[in-house]
Each structure stands twice: as C-alpha cells, then as structure tokens.
Amino acid sequence: MGQVIEVEGLRKSFGRRDVLHGIDFGVERGEVFGVIGPNGAGKTTTMRCLLDIIRPSAGSIRILGEDPGAAGPGLRRRIGYLPGELFLEQRITGRRLLAHYAAISGAVRPGRADELAERFNLDLDRHTRKLSKGNKQKLGLVQAFMHDPEVLILDEPTSGLDPLIQQEFRALLNEAQDNGQTVFLSSHVLSEVQQAADRVAILRDGNIVQVSTVASLREGALRQVKIAVIGVGSSELRLRLQRVPGLNLSEVHDTDLGAAAAASFEGAIQPLVQALAPLQLADLVIEEPDLEESVLNLYGKVAVGSAP
Ligand SMILES: Nc1ncnc2c1ncn2[C@@H]1O[C@H](COP(=O)(O)OP(=O)(O)OP(=O)(O)O)[C@@H](O)[C@H]1O
C-alpha cells in the first residue's frame, strides 16, 4: 500500500464557523509528514478528524485504507496519538496511567514503556498530577509510541521539551521511520519540523497553502547576500547586481578599496555568480536561507506564536 493517510476535500465547521475549508493531502508509508501553521490554523482539528474524535462536515479520510468514522477500535489500536493537551489530573502514577492506556491501545512489548521513559529521563513512579509540563509531554509521547503503532499522529510533539529531549525524540522518529511506521506531526514553527519531516504542509486559516519537501522550501527561500569588490565603484556594482533575477538590493556604497553591497536573494544562484565572475571580490557572504521567514510569508505575515 502506498498512502497510509489519504485526506480529500476535508471540511469541518463548528456551528457557522468554517475551520477547515476542504483540505487534501496524502502521507506515504514510512514518511514523516509535518503540518505547520499559526495558532488556530486548524492543525488540531485535522488531527481530531483523522482519529474520529470529531466528525468531518464533508470530505473523505482513509487511514491504513479504512475510514476512521466506520472502522472502530481495531483501527485506533494501529494508531499512536499524542493530543495537543493531555489531561493528567488523576492521582495515579505514570506507570498506572500507561497500563490503562495499554488496555485500550493493545499489546505493548514487555519493558517497552520503561525503555522509552528511560530515554526521555522520565520517572514513571511519580504522580501524573505533579509532573511538570515537559514531563507530562514525555508521558504523552511514551503513551503514543509504546505499542509500536503503524501510524503516529503527534500534535505539537516537541512542545515543552528541552533540546536534549527533542534530540531523543528525533532519534525515535528516525527509528520509527526505519521500522516503516508513518508519522503525521504538527508544529507552529518550521525549525521544529524541518529536521524531522520529509515533507511539510503549510496550513493557514483552514487551507493548505503549500505542500513541499524541506529541500524545495529551502530553494524557494530568501537568503541574505553581502558582497565587497575591489577596484569598482558603487554605481558599477549596482548596475551589475540589478540585472540578477531574484536579487533585491538593500544597500550599495563605496569603500576604500571599491564598493560593497547587501541584498536579499531568492532563486537560482548561477546568475549571481556569473554577474560577480568578472569582478575582483574582497568578500562574499551568502547566508543560509531563512526558511522561517519564507514560511512567515506564506502564513500571510501572521505572527508565529500569537493568539488566534
Ligand atoms: N470544538 C470547537 N468548537 C468551536 N470552535 C473550535 C472548536 N475546536 C476548534 N475550534 C476553532 O477552530 C479553529 C482551529 O483550531 P485548531 O485547534 O484546530 O487550531 P490549531 O492550528 O491546532 O492551533 P494551535 O496552534 O493554537 O493549537 C480555532 O479558531 C478554534 O477556535
């Protein structure tokens, strides 16, 4: 089977409020697929529809070839789910809570939960109520991964995790991928998904504005360029650079030795290299593309992390 998650024309309205406007995407077996979008874009709503926690208003969903609305608990056991907000106010230990989840999710390999907890540096014998935000998140992740499900649906999985634990989480994702497990995860910032995901969908106001590989997002992203040349004045440098497609000059000035320029740049690098080739360079800096910036442009300048 190719696609493990297939979504077509998915719409969801709450009362008169349309939250998802007919989204389409597919996730291949063994793929890590990230969905990013600002607060309120509809990421959690999409995930809840995939899990049949809420019913779509229209459209079709197939997970492992089945309709989650009709498949029942058999399908649910093949999925690991990390909700965006875990309700953990019970007076029980993490270990007992996991045993409760295991009764729902189905067989967990002996020692698997302890192994995951150890990797996350999580004490399973503490009362869940007393856990910090990050430790609650770790418990949620152990719960999602422990039965080695074929599909993992993870709502903001790295939220509240320190960098070392985030690294451990990414290692776990790589292992899941090697095992042929399929991962659908969400975030509101690209930096969290760009290392982990093969492809990224950008969701804005209930519409997918783009689905692309992280590599192609990088190609289309804005880079900052700084150029210093020897023996040529600012007007000649400006003239040459103005002919380079995708280059937007922010500054050109004369220097003691010649001229210097700063610009932002997107697109193919070759025309820029050709424009500079006849000149004697004193310095050339082409910064790593700012993917976060280009995603913000796609968000439509909505500030990341702002309230909905
Ligand atoms: N049960 C509900 N009833 C009414 N409106 C809802 C309900 N659930 C979600 N919404 C609305 O749907 C929109 C999308 O919410 P959703 O939680 O899916 O966004 P999100 O992309 O996950 O955002 P965040 O990054 O803040 O978690 C929001 O405006 C939210 O207020």
Question: Is there a contact between 196 and 173 (Cβ–Cβ < 8 Å)?
Answer: yes
All structural domains of the chain with their residue ranges = 3-218, 223-288
> Does the predicted TM-score (pTM) go above 0.90?
no
What is the 44 CA–ligand 1 centroid distance (Å)?
Answer: 7
> Which residues have C-beta within 8 Å of that of residue 231, sequence separation ≥ 6?
257, 258, 280
CB 148 within 8 A of CB 181: yes
Q: What is the pLDDT of residues 261-308, one digit of tens each?
A: 999 988 788 899 999 999 999 999 988 776 676 677 766 644 444 333
26 band by pLDDT with thresholds 50, 70 and 90 = very high
Residue 257's region, left for phi above 0, alpha for psi from -120 to 50, else beta, is: alpha
Q: How far is the CA of 50 from the centre of ligand 1 (A)?
A: 15
Q: Closest residue (by CA) to atom 12 of ligand 1?
A: 19
Closest residue by Cα to atom 18, ligand 1, is 42
What is the dihedral sign for C-alpha 159, 161, 164, 167?
A: negative
**What ipTM describes this predicted complex?**
0.96
CATH superfamily of 3-218: P-loop containing nucleotide triphosphate hydrolases (3.40.50.300)
Rounded to the nearest whole angstrom, what is the distance from the C-alpha of residue 189 to the centroid of ligand 1?
17
108: pLDDT strictly greater than 90: no
Rounded distance from Cα 242 to ligand 1 centre (Å): 45
Residue nearest (by alpha carbon) to ligand 1 atom 16: 42
The mean of the pLDDT values for the chain is 89
Nearest CA to ligand 1 atom 1: 14
In the chain, the N- to C-terminal Cα span, in Å, equals 38
Q: Whose CA is nearest to atom 8 of ligand 1?
A: 45
Tell me how far the alpha carbon of residue 227 lies from the centroid of ligand 1, in angstroms.
Answer: 46
pLDDT digits (tens, 9 = 90+) for 78-98: 999 999 887 776 788 999 999
Paired tokens of 96: 């007992």
Q: What class has domain 223-288?
A: alpha beta
Using most ligand atoms within 8 A of CB, pick from 20, 45, 205 the residue to mutate for ligand 1.
45
For residue 218, the CA-to-ligand 1 centroid distance in Å is: 29
